[in-house]
Amino acid sequence: MAKKKTKFVCQECGYHSPKFMGKCPGCGSWNTMVEEIEETASSNRLGFAAALTAEVSQPRPITQVETKTEARIVTKFQELNRVLGGGIVDGSLVLIGGDPGIGKSTLLLQVSSQLANSDYKVLYISGEESAKQIKLRADRLDVTSNNLFVLSETDLQRIARYIDDMLPSFVVIDSIQTIHLPEVTSAPGSVSQVRECTAELMKLAKIKGIPIFIVGHVTKEGAIAGPRMLEHMVDAVLYFEGERHHTYRILRAVKNRFGSTNEIGIFEMKELGLQEVLNPSEIFLEERPVGVAGSTVVASMEGTRPVLVEIQSLISPTSFGNPRRMATGLDHNRVSLIMAVLEKRAGMLLQNQDAYLKVAGGLKLDEPAIDLAVAVSIASSFRDKASAPTDVMIGEVGLTGEVRRVSRIDQRVQEAAKLGFKRAIIPKKNLGGWTIPEGIEVIGVSNIGEALRYTLGGTS
């Protein structure tokens, strides 16, 4: 008999080596190299390879390629439809990750129930829970439908046979780290198992035209566990985020072959499951204090949706040689840059001040249009002077102190007017070319000094 060849594979990044090493050269992690048997020949495990090669494609000019609109399954969750680009595409493989207990299984079970009630045949496969445990959660969520089938199984070959016999319209795999192929000798959840199982599920989705959602565990850093290749193989990668002490959950797409990655969906976890939030601006501003220094409101764009969010700052004298700069929901480097601009262009002595900033509600903002609101919030806390509670700030701040134009200014101001704001401070270059909504005053500023004069009443 031929001697079996072995290799050592890093369980964090997938790097493989013929010998054991304590530190992985690929990602620098320690004690992550695990010995696995190396496969010498490729096997046609599920019989999909022959089907994939049945139709031999030939190269042809791109002008002769026929295009058609992808068929989509529309759920009752408008937030999920928006993140996916309009609905679930037939034959797509979608990976959804998030912290334990954040609500991934709850979301997918509710979506499965909605589709089953719309006469779609749905197969919910769990490798972590028994059918009775799924039933207990379904009773809590009031999920009842004869078109929703549940299966507790971890063998991918058996799962493929069930899918081939049932031909469901929608499949959920919870989770990919528990599924295994018997031919792969490594343990479930290892790099080899996750990679091979995902590849077979991708073939199954494309050949049968069945959309498949797979749940992925995340590491302590927040990334999806397993090889990075996993995110490249699937059609869409969704992250379900949220603070454990808050009831709001944010569904964000970091990859989507059938839509934009700029959209977010906002849900609220309640006793009967997840409920979508159609007007997140009211949610993020409902507990905003009035007349408190350091609090400002910005109209930020999340994809095609304007969202009004409160930015809070606390500036206090430091007790150490190096002042602290802490930011939650904001880029730390952006905060340092804006503080340097305020010190140089507005004459504020901030080098001996600790700065603590956060975005209320747990949202993360990373677009340039929030710069002006951050600057006014810092100046307001430093001077201990509150800005008007009915003001909203929009604009990008440059290194010379200028306020630069931003995109979609009309949608941002319209959202502010709808929520009762009376004045909008925007870049002067954005004035003109659009209709100002009724009930709101729009003021254009060209530099940070003008913005501070309008909002805080002075530059000193």
CA distances from 233 to 62, 127, 178, 355 (A): 24, 21, 18, 42
132 annotated as ligand-binding: no
Residues 6+ apart with CB under 8 A from 238: 83, 94, 95, 96, 97, 251, 252, 253, 254
105 is in an annotated binding site: yes
- 103 has binding-site annotation: yes
Q: For residues 51 and 206, give the distance between their C-alpha atoms in angstroms, rounded to a whole number.
A: 10
Please choose, from the candidates 46, 51, 50, 72, the residue with its C-alpha nearest in 3D space to the C-alpha of residue 169. 72
Give the Cβ contact number of residue 142 at 10 Å: 10
CA dihedral for 132, 134, 140, 143, sign (positive or negative): negative
CA distances from 404 to 106, 347, 378, 447 (A): 43, 20, 19, 8
The pair of structure tokens assigned to 189 is 């959840």
Q: What is the DSSP string of 252-309?
A: EEEEETTS-SS-EEEEEEETTEEEE-S-HHHHHHTT--SS-TTEEEEEEEETTEEEEE
Query: Is 336 marked as a binding-site residue?
Result: no
Residue 95 and residue 233: Cα distance in Å, rounded? 10
The H helix count followed by the E strand count for the chain is 12, 23
**Distance in angstroms (rounded) separating the CA atoms of residues 193 and 229:** 12
Tell me the three state secondary structure of residue 35. Answer: strand
The answer to whether 99 is a known ligand-binding residue is yes
| Torsion (CA) 15, 16, 20, 25 in degrees, nearest 10 | -30
Q: Is 168 labelled a binding residue?
A: no
Q: What 3-state DSSP class applies to 135?
A: helix
Long-range CB contact pairs, 330-339, < 8 A, 24+: 330/357, 330/358, 330/359, 330/364, 330/365, 330/370, 330/374, 331/366, 334/371, 334/374, 335/374, 337/399, 338/371, 338/374, 338/375, 338/378, 338/397, 339/378
CB under 8 Å to 193, separation ≥6 — which residues?
A: 179, 180, 181, 184, 186, 187
- Tokens representing 230? 């996993």
Binding site: residue ranges?
A: 98-105
Binding site for ATP: residue ranges?
A: 98-105
